[in-house]
Amino acid sequence: MSQSPRQQLLNDIDVDVAIIGAGYTGLWTAYYLKQMNSKLSIAIIESEYVGFGGSGRNGGWCSAFLPMSPTEMAEQHGKDAMQFIQREMFATIAEIAKITELEGIDCDFYQGGTITSASSTAHIQRVKDYVAQWRASGFDESVIRWEGADEIETRMRTVKTYGGMYSPHCAVIHPWKLVQGIARVLEARGVTIYERSRVLNVQQRRVQTTCAAVNARWVVQAVESFASQQRRTKRSIVPLYSLMVATEPIPSHIWSEIGWSNRETFADGRNMVTYAQRTADNRIAFGGRGAPYHLGSRISPKFDVNEKIHDQLRETVRETFPLLGDVKFTHQWGGPIGASRDWHAFANVDHKTGLCSGGGYVGDGVALSNLIARTLVHQMLNNESPLTRSLLVNHRARAWELEPIRWIGINGLLKLTEIADARERRSGAPSSRIIAMRDSFLG
């Protein structure tokens, strides 16, 4: 929980900007607003505490890759727009590195790149096709490339690899340290953060909480998956649970066998999403999807732990890294990520009503939230920045289906993904038809 509980909003206030949500999106938005206009009065309103949501408990991938593929972006917005936003994402990694150093935020930032390993023959073509998609989109080997089994094994030793994708455009961070560090910087610059202040209603330039109201010129909704808990935005996003486990600090003699000295982020080439990092204190933190979606987009602390999925994650870590031996697991946790209906991130500003919103990260928000925040701020301040014309601006996905169709559909897609991976493990051949069926349902 919060290291030092902050004040609750108990009295009505007037500010220039009210930001709902003290996660990365809200904090970065306040940071850049203050950077561009230090005189602005800003209040951040948080229902729990700073970093309570995904910002404080994610997998620590500060990745330049978007939830939207380059092919999808090019088809929808054009190749130039796709290439522009992707280059901005590459630059965002450097931006976060610069700020953490400048502001003295010790969040274990380290840019070692990212690996997706083909650990089965079924994965090889899928990973190669992904690399080819980037090549066709105009990005060369300095951005992303296929590396053979010998090259991947030089980076890290897993139970088996047939090669994999490597890109330098990813860093690792400690999520809690980053979110708390940004908050401390903001408070030193006059931004007030109210915790334990749940928002009940937003009407244009007025935010009503459980105890008081905030009147503001701008209201920024930065709540990601928790938008699903508000009536006005209930079907704009769904909360999908992602779960994690972590080992105890691993002895140096085991690391000397595994390698992984450059701390690349790591994913397996299976269809179900996995993600891992070697932490600064020498643990393996490993996460994955597969937990069920809950009817009515429910979010609850009891969903943060799912013993079946957590056991599967621990088993996957031991299978992937057999050199771990009897190393123990000391932590397990989880939480919801937000997904819009088309898996497309957004940075929306309405100058008429003063309402702004950013999100749609589908788990890729550590770096993307920084770019979204800058995009929102440039729009709010009417700056002549190319970001105000990017494909993130004023994007609105269609609403998710009504229940119980939503519950049946999402959990059905999860089941199809599980079936595809099980078949690939048995046969060593890709389950192309099943995944094509899944993706056609997703649209």
Query: Is the per-residue pLDDT at 439 higher than 90?
Result: no
* Residues of the chain above pLDDT 90, percent: 96
Give the residue-averaged pLDDT of 217-223: 98
Residue 222 has pLDDT above 80, yes or no: yes
pLDDT band at 2 (very low <50, low <70, confident <90, very high): very low
pLDDT by residue (tens digit) across 47-73? 999 999 999 999 999 999 999 999 999
Per-residue model confidence (pLDDT) at position 443: 66
CB-count burial class (<10 Å; 0-12, 13-18, 19+) for 325: exposed
Whole-number pLDDT of residue 5: 86
Mean pLDDT score of the chain: 97
**pTM summary value:** 0.97
Asked if residue 368 lies in contact with residue 66, where contact means CB atoms within 8 angstroms, the answer is yes
Beta bridge partners of 265: 114
User: What pLDDT, in 10s, does the model give residues 381-433?
Assistant: 999 999 999 999 999 999 999 999 999 999 999 999 999 999 999 999 999 99
Q: What is the mean pLDDT of residues 332-359?
A: 97
DSSP 281: T
8 A C-beta contact, residue 185 and residue 26: no
- The pLDDT of residue 86 is 98
284: which strand partners?
278
State the Cα–Cα distance between residues 273 and 290, nearest whole angstrom.
8
On the question of pLDDT at 442 being above 80, the answer is no
**pLDDT band at residue 204, thresholds of 50, 70 and 90?**
confident
Bridge partner residues of 201 (DSSP): 208
pLDDT per position as a tens digit, 137-146: 999 999 999 9
Taking Cα atoms as reference points, which of 127, 123, 117 lies closest to residue 158?
A: 117
Whether pLDDT at 441 is above 80: no
Q: Is the pLDDT of residue 1 over 60?
A: no
pLDDT at 375 over 80: yes
pLDDT in tens, 231-265: 999 999 999 999 999 999 999 999 999 999 999 99
Q: Which domains does the chain have, with CATH numbers?
A: 13-63+175-237+342-389 (3.50.50.60), 114-167+238-339+403-442 (3.30.9.10)
Instruction: Give me the pLDDT at residue 121, please.
Output: 97
The amino acid that residue 114 corresponds to is T
